[in-house]
Amino acid sequence: MYVTTTDVYRICGIPTDGSIVSDNDITMHIVAAEAYVERILHTCFQPGGRTITETLDGTGTDTMFLNNYPLITLTSLTIDSTSVTPSNVYQYANTGKLVLKSSAEVTSFTNSTPQLVSITYTYGQEADDVIIHYTAIIAAMMTFIEQIGGTFDDVTSFSIPEMSGSLGEPYTNIRESLARLEKMESNYRKYLPIKMKVA
């Protein structure tokens, strides 16, 4: 994980002693938030990146784009059962673009039938301050939603002989905090380092 429980506690402004939300719950929200951010940005921010194998339709040209980027390492490429040496491929890390060199074992990403291209590669990048803070905001929003669900039986007023009183409604405060985080999250999207694509 690249977001810590401390990051989320700081954004939420709740005690770190586990009296309101436990470290375990915060951690689960962080895991979910990191997965969400990776999905909407189509990349990986975990140390070392993530290695996957994709089977894709060819383009019929010497160029195709990976589904995920930035590209760290192109491990293997097979086009219609022919192995292509990775060094025979121009690799554009920031866009996931692959272009076959004239020295490549084949000259195009064949598209005579579907799924003739198999690619194994590692993609991702280091999480910078913007990504860390954005992901922590998402985890904090999840935390507040959890808190709202737990306020249904909170005592907000009481009465005993010769005395009565009331307490602030937790839901009202949590709802306002959540609304502000939602606005912050929306504004933050403008500054994300990678153009968002439809998940």
CA distance 11 to 188: 14
Give the tokens for residue 126: 């280091």
Give strand pairing partners of 157.
166
Give the tokens for residue 90: 């121009």
- Given pLDDT bands bounded at 50, 70 and 90, which one contains residue 97? very high
pLDDT tens, position by position, 25-49:
999 999 999 999 988 887 899 889 9
Residue 180 three-state SS: helix
Report the sign of the C-alpha dihedral through residues 34, 53, 119, 113, in that order: negative
pLDDT > 90: percent of the chain: 50
Given a contact cutoff of 8 angstroms between Cβ atoms, the answer to whether 130 and 192 are in contact is yes
Given a contact cutoff of 8 angstroms between Cβ atoms, the answer to whether 177 and 13 are in contact is yes
pTM of the model: 0.69
Give strand pairing partners of 74.
121
Give the tokens for residue 77: 């490429």
C-alpha distances out from residue 69 to 17, 112, 122, 150, Å: 39, 26, 9, 39
Given a contact cutoff of 8 angstroms between Cβ atoms, the answer to whether 153 and 28 are in contact is no
DSSP 190: G
Q: What is the mean pLDDT of the chain?
A: 83
